[in-house]
Chain A
Amino acid sequence: MARSLLDKLKDLERTAGVRRSSGEAAPADEARDAAPAAQLCNVENHREGELAEAGFQKLSTPHGPVWVRETGFDLCTSYGDRPFADFLSCDFARLSRLAKADVAPERMMFYDVEATGLGHGGGTVPFLHAVGYFADDEFRVAQYFVPDYAAEAAVVRLLADRFGRDGSVMVTYNGKSYDWPLFVNRCVLYGLIPPEPAHLDLLHPARRLWKRVVGRMKLADVEALLGVKRAGDLPGSEAPLRYFAYVQGAPVASMEDVFAHNLRDVCTLARLALEIAEALEERRSWPHAAPHVGLATWFDAWREWESADAQFRRAVEQEDADWRARWLFSLFLKRRGQWDEACEIWLELARDFPNRPEPLVEAAKYFEHHRRDLAKALEAAQAAQARVAEESREHGEIARRLERIRRKLKRGAALPG
């Protein structure tokens, strides 16, 4: 009558309706065939052969073997609409400013991982690390693969050394919240002190430039802007499942799509870095206002007034120049003391956006304090007041302004001349 523990467990899970996650299987009824040790050994050899066939090389390290596949691209190779060689002619001064580090092609490491899940806890394992770099007239991508969980330590140690080299600049896409914390987790788990390279996460500048143009900011969405076309690409969520199948015996060929996906991600990273560097060097233009506004606000913050001015002008020239582009430009002009031009924009904005009081308030200030044209100031302030709700804070502020202008008008009328 005694039931085995496993029978009991099976019944319990079935009757309690235990939820299974994506990769989980229902328990098999027959017992597992325990593979004899010798057979395991053969399997190991077989898998190594497979990896070698797939182009992976076995590096011996003091902490065990590391499997790596290097793919080189001649600099003349185009990726998207540009050859890698364009990196050599690009000026990275402003990108360096953005990265707060000295950026140069030979220092950059483009890093992207594929992991067993999207979480970033201790159990999410990056099983494929790709590092893109420039060397020997090539753009090279080294893909470090973890063929078994047990083989991870050696990979992490090797990468920690590599990332720790002086002057390295890590370049990622969303790496500040995903790829890098995952790597740091692994370092901690293997008792290593995580390296601290300079880190440029391209997601943030890309978002400032193109969020309003492309909407979603996944790497694939940005690729369209770079002339990159991907066909038959593996959906990212599929990668963990392929890996789980692989560690349980599926042939390495089934991982090929994952390797390819990862390789392309790193190439796109490089292409994106070039795009942003050139944009910062003002060598790009778009038929949209938003990217130019994005550039202008950086330049403004960096006190590069001429560049900021030029970018704002390009922005407001665009057909889709919206309230934000024009309004930010007007405030820029105001700060720069170019009042007359700023006022022109305010009056246009007041006309084009009949519900917004802000441009009229600015105009009223300008007429009152700079042009000392109290009649026009009164007119603008009154028009502004008509656009705000009576109970609002703005209403009170405008009322005080009106009162002061009227007082000044009265005083002015009392004075001779």
Chain B
Amino acid sequence: MNLEQLLDEWRRDPQFRNQVSAWRVVPARIGRYEDFPAELHPELRASLAARGIERLYAHQREAWDLIQAGRDAVIATPTASGKTLCYNLPVLQAILRDPSVRALYVFPTKALAQDQVAELHDLVRNLKTSVHTFTYDGDTPVHARQKIREAGHIVVTNPDMLHAAILPHHTKWLRLFKNLRYVVIDEAHIYRGVFGSHVANVIRRLLRIASFYGARPQFIFCSATIANPGELTSRLLGRETAVVSESGAPEGEKHVILYNPPVVDPSLGLRQSALRAARRLGARLLQHEIPTILFTRTRNQVELLASYLRRDARDRVRSRIVSYRGGYLPNERRAVERGLREGQILGVVSTNALELGVDIGSLQAAITVGYPGSVASTRQQMGRAGRRKGTSAAIFVATSSALDQWMVRHPEALLDASPEAARIYPDNLLILMDHLKCAAYELPFSADERFGVETTEELLGYLVDTRVLHRAADGRYFYMADDMPAHAVSLRSAAQENVVIVDQSAHPPVVIGEMDRFSALTMLHEEAIYLHQSQMYQVEKLDLENGKAFVRPVDCDYYTDAELAVHLQVLEENQHTDEGPLRHYAGDLAVHATPTLFKKIKLETHENVGWGKIYLPEAELHTSGYWVTFDRSGWSASDDEWEAALKGLGHVLKQAVALHAMCAASDVHVAVEVRDPQYARPSVYVYDAYPGGVGIAERVYRDRDQIFATAFDMLQGCPCECGCPSCVGPPTSGEPLRQWVEALLGSVAGAGTPRGA
């Protein structure tokens, strides 16, 4: 049975159909082609011909024309549409015309870099002229580095190496910077949030150095489908980018199915687990030897599902089902990738590690088990199934979480709505200051130089005051410390001083994660239960001074919930709405928080089974926030009821914010006041977890109507009676918490008529 026949069977099977909340068929599309551009170098023409390429897809030609016209461009066409050719062609063309030309390729991870180099080598092998491509990363042997600096036409690296190794040592890369014509930034959608904000500053530094050597490189970005590729890359680069988003590649017919597992206990509204449903569907596909990829959310689920599928499979197929996730050794991963490309491997279960552009060819079916956290990410996973010819299928299997259930009830959000926008906030003061120091180390700042912001001069003055910089007699600012600032700045850490989580039971002890200091107060206090990949750990010691939390795996039936006495102080109101029963604000906050005690809460029943005190100092966080105040008279209830309702509202709001702002729920914190000291009204605060803010709160203020509507909708779709952990949180003593929150939400402007209802 082939995929078409299997889909046909499913379509006719009422049991299957009952669980399907949407079944879309995207019709096949023929390719749109364009001739090679007349100016294409004969050697390139020949090399392409040797690979069977006689013309370009329309979008490849479009990219070519834009780039030849000198534009910075972003190519945001779907997976497997031939994006790499869009940048390889102009780069190779330039090198063939002038061998002194240099290009820099930046990939977010080492694995991706290796993949793209392999593809580039294929193209270069058939050229008569020799073009040298080298990877420069942490694995590059020291003796090879000199040669790469001198002889590499194309240097392939990652943002971290660029930041800490290449830019601070730019004098050794003289040849690269002097002749830098193109900078290619692949997987640009990865550069969002704090990481993206750092990378935008790394690009500012790169541009500064290139300009010192008299080069003005053109930038070519590639991105997965996100709502705002042009906006994101323009922010990353600080210059306008032209967007190429219409793919000319042919596509076979594609079925997209949203599957909600059947209800197994109608009284509790309990559904079959998504993993079990995925096992059933995956087993069917693999039984018919249909190449399939399954995505799960955690590493543990990867192993579990892979072992289920192997157990279900016939002998002949069993050995062709593998798992793939972070934590595997590079050569293991390479072997899986090759096996997938070449067809020896039939089924793979993976975390989102394979979502990135790792080349595994195209599979016939993809199953996403549980919403991976963003629409863009879901689409990426679904895009793993799809072929130039023939049918493919992508199946989304919902879990019972409020967010997943909301998704299956709103298929248009997953299938039609534009995917989330990726945001960055390069001017976060702390991030900016970090890079200002790095930049000053690389080259002195001239008196009137601007680094991203208009206030550059003020900031440089501040660094002079703190004796990081010295203002020389000629007015230039020089770095003045005996260290290298880039070594103290990590592009990937969420905050400057994170607490690392150390598992003491391992020999030697291993770091299993990290967390910002502020969250550590409630999540990593002594005796806290910390969940990591479905394993429970108990915190034995929190050493805030050295930023370490020591944990040990435990097997227990409760989790902990810490109470935080939060005192909020509004430092500045930047925006607010008019007076009324509700008032919305955006601005700067100082958050003072002291953890007081924690409760032990039993897993299944949520009953309180004990408590303890927490002895930790007060923490202070300065950040940007959004807040809303309510008219007390709009809902007559006691203080306690108000407090419970506000907290419940905060709980569901956090998830809605995560959905809209394309961030993790842990990127924002929520706090409530029944009698706000500043406004004397009940209020809910949502603020960025990162010091200085990364623009999430501003966005919440702007999109508050949509966010409240989504929150309301999530609440209405939740199968629980009066509140549960996946919506407003569990009620403490059977009060109608959910109804209270609904009442509150109903009063918020724009939330009265939930969309899609």
Contact = CB atoms under 8 A, between A and B. Distances in A.
Interface of A: 1-3, 5-6, 8-9, 11-13, 15-28, 32, 44, 116-125, 148-151, 181, 184-185, 188-189, 237, 240-241, 244, 247-248
B168 interface: yes
B478 A18 contact: no
Interface string B618-653: 001110000000000000000000000000000000
A122 B171 contact: yes
A24 B466 contact: yes
Contacts of A12: 429-430, 622, 691-692
Given A13-B430, A16-B497, A24-B466, A122 B473 contact: no
Nearest to B468: A24
Given A19-B496, A185-B171, A247-B480, A6 B621 contact: no
5 contacts: A1-B572, A11-B590, A15-B620, A21-B468, A148-B472
Contact of B488 (A6, A19, A148): A19
A214 B573 CA distance: 67
Contacts of A13: 430, 433
A119 to B, nearest CB: 4
Nearest to B455: A5
Contacts of B497: 16-17, 19
B481 interface: yes
Given A8-B429, A9-B433, 15 more contacts: A2-B572, A8-B622, A12-B429, A16-B622, A18-B430, A21-B481, A24-B468, A27-B466, A116-B482, A121-B442, A123-B441, A123-B484, A149-B444, A150-B473, A185-B172
Nearest to B433: A9
A121 B169 CA distance: 4
Contact of A9 (B459, B476, B496, B621): B459
A120 B169 contact: yes
A5 B436 CA distance: 15
Contact of A240 (B459, B473, B482, B622): B482
B465 interface: yes
Interface of B: 168-172, 174, 429-430, 433, 440-444, 455, 458-459, 461-462, 464-468, 470, 472-474, 476, 478-485, 488, 495-497, 517, 571-573, 588, 590, 620-622, 691-692
B171 A3 contact: no
A172 to B, nearest CB: 19
B171 A117 contact: no
Nearest to A239: B482
B430 A119 contact: no
Nearest to B214: A191
A27 B465 contact: yes
Contacts of B476: 149-150
Contacts of B433: 9, 13, 18
B483 A21 contact: yes
B462 A6 contact: yes
A300 B467 CA distance: 55
A240 B470 CA distance: 13
Nearest 5 CB-CB pairings of A with B: A123-B441, A121-B168, A117-B482, A150-B474, A150-B472
B482 A122 contact: no
B621 A15 contact: yes
A149 B472 contact: yes
B171 A184 contact: yes
Contacts of A20: 466
B164 to A, nearest CB: 10
A26 B482 contact: no
A249 B468 CA distance: 15
A244 to B, nearest CB: 5
Nearest to B478: A149
A22 B468 CA distance: 10
Contacts of B573: 1
A10 B363 CA distance: 53
A247 to B, nearest CB: 5
B481 A117 contact: yes
Contact of A122 (B169, B483, B588, B590): B169
Contacts of A19: 488, 496-497
A11 B622 contact: yes
A120 B590 CA distance: 40
Given A15-B620, A16-B430, A24-B467, A123 B472 contact: no
Contact of A125 (B478, B572, B621): B478
Contacts of B458: 5-6
Contact of B171 (A9, A25, A188): A188
Contacts of B622: 8, 11-12, 15-16
B169 to A, nearest CB: 5
Contact of A28 (B444, B465, B472): B465
Given A9-B429, A16-B430, A148-B472, A123 B482 contact: no
A244 B691 contact: no
A414 to B, nearest CB: 56
Contacts of B441: 121-123
B692 A23 contact: no
Given A8-B588, A22-B483, A244 B496 contact: no
A24 B481 contact: yes
A55 B444 CA distance: 30
A254 B171 CA distance: 32
A9 B458 CA distance: 11
Contact of B692 (A16, A27, A150, A189): A16
B689 to A, nearest CB: 12
B146 to A, nearest CB: 11
Contacts of B621: 15
B572 A23 contact: no
Quick one: which of B443, B458, B467, B692 has the most chain A CB within 10 A? B467
Contacts of B464: 32
A342 to B, nearest CB: 36
Contact of B517 (A11, A17, A240): A17
Contacts of B571: 1, 3
A12 to B, nearest CB: 5
Nearest to B464: A32
Contacts of B474: 150
A1 B573 CA distance: 8
Contacts of B484: 117, 119, 121, 123-124
B470 A25 contact: no
B430 A241 contact: no
B443 A122 contact: yes
A217 to B, nearest CB: 20
B442 A248 contact: no
Given A121-B442, A150-B476, A184-B171, A3 B467 contact: no
Contact of A21 (B172, B429, B462, B488): B488
B688 to A, nearest CB: 12
A6 B484 CA distance: 24
A16 B496 contact: yes
A244 B480 contact: yes
A24 B572 CA distance: 29
A44 B170 CA distance: 32
Contacts of B473: 44, 148, 150-151
B314 to A, nearest CB: 42
Contacts of A25: 465-467
A119 B622 CA distance: 34
Contacts of B495: 16
Contacts of B169: 120-122
Contacts of B691: 12, 15-16
A124 B622 CA distance: 34
Contacts of A121: 168-171, 441-442, 484
A15 B465 CA distance: 19
Contacts of B470: 149, 244, 247-248
Contacts of A2: 572
Nearest to B441: A123
Nearest to A119: B484
A184 B146 CA distance: 14
Nearest to A8: B429
B462 A9 contact: yes
A2 B587 CA distance: 11
